[in-house]
Amino acid sequence: MIKDNKELALIYLQEDYVGMEDWSARIRNDEEVASKLLELHGVDSWAWYHMSKRIKKKFGIEED
């Protein structure tokens, strides 16, 4: 489980987002993690659902 481990979160983004729903608020609100998500998977990735509102706003991700 990577709940609050930023380094593992960055590695998991290269995979299939295993366990994103269990990530801590710190990880979901981290700009480096969000930047890596954007770089690897773009703005249309379903994974943005799990990121914080602040991060989604900063990176221009529209919420449904």
Convert the pLDDT of each residue in 15-26 to its tens digit.
877 788 889 999
Only one residue has tokens 């290269």, namely: 14
- Mean pLDDT for all residues in the chain: 91
Please list the ranges in the chain whose pLDDT falls under 70.
1, 64
Task: Find the DSSP H helices in 4-62.
Answer: 6-12, 25-28, 31-41, 53-58
